[in-house]
Amino acid sequence: MSSDTVETVRAVRQIRRYDPDPVPADVLRRLLSVARWTGSSKNTQPWHFVVITDRALLRELSGLRPNINWLSRAPLALAIVLDGTAPLSEAYDEGRVAERILVAASALGYGGGVGFWGDESQQATAKRMLGIPRERTARSFVTIGKAISREDPRGLRRGGRKPMEEIVSYERWGNAATKRA
């Protein structure tokens, strides 16, 4: 893997401010291909994706939870629907596929953000709005569009990362990383 690729992956950020122009069909097809080929626990591929471009529906979905109002301004959202049969491994797979979509979007010159419907009531409402069967799990979505800003419209704390020595231990918790990394 080239250092350019590593830097591309490292630089992926949540984007929540989008140009209103639609995402081209070819870009969507490529993102869905990446999602389809993402690895999953025991290769169960427990997902289905609902592509959402209808502005009114995006606005309604964004109203289900206070901190996802940015969803209404995205030109595209992919709801991640899971089989609902293996909660632990499906939660892992859900995170994997969401991150892969974000990385692919960035590589294609687009931005993306991951959000979720919080409690069971919000999830049930989102499923009804999207026609998702009750037995399925649907708690998260990925938005895609051309980024117009990296600023978070919610005014949350921005930027930076904790120092490496605060987040890495070697062999046992608390063994300093400063000598090795």
117-156 per-position pLDDT tens digit: 989 999 999 999 999 999 999 999 999 999 996 665 555 5
**pLDDT band with cut points at 50, 70 and 90 for residue 158:** low
Q: Which residue has the higher pLDDT, 2 or 181?
A: 2
Give dist(CA 121, CA 129) in Å, integer. 12
How many CB atoms lie under 10 A from the CB of residue 70?
A: 19
What pLDDT does 81 receive? 98
User: Stretch 1-7: mean pLDDT, rounded?
Assistant: 79
What pLDDT does 46 receive? 97
Which residue is listed with tokens 């117009």?
148
Judged against a pLDDT cut of 80, whether residue 79 lies above it is answered with yes
Query: What domains lie within the chain, and their CATH numbers?
Result: 3-150 (3.40.109.10)
175 token code pair: 């063994």
What pLDDT does 7 receive? 86
What pLDDT does 66 receive? 87
Measuring CA to CA, which residue among 78, 118, 117, 83 is closest to residue 99?
78
Judged against a pLDDT cut of 60, whether residue 38 lies above it is answered with yes
39-59 per-position pLDDT tens digit: 999 999 999 999 999 999 999
Give dist(CA 164, CA 176) in Å, integer. 10
pTM to 2 decimal places: 0.88
Measuring CA to CA, which residue among 117, 93, 104 is closest to residue 23?
104
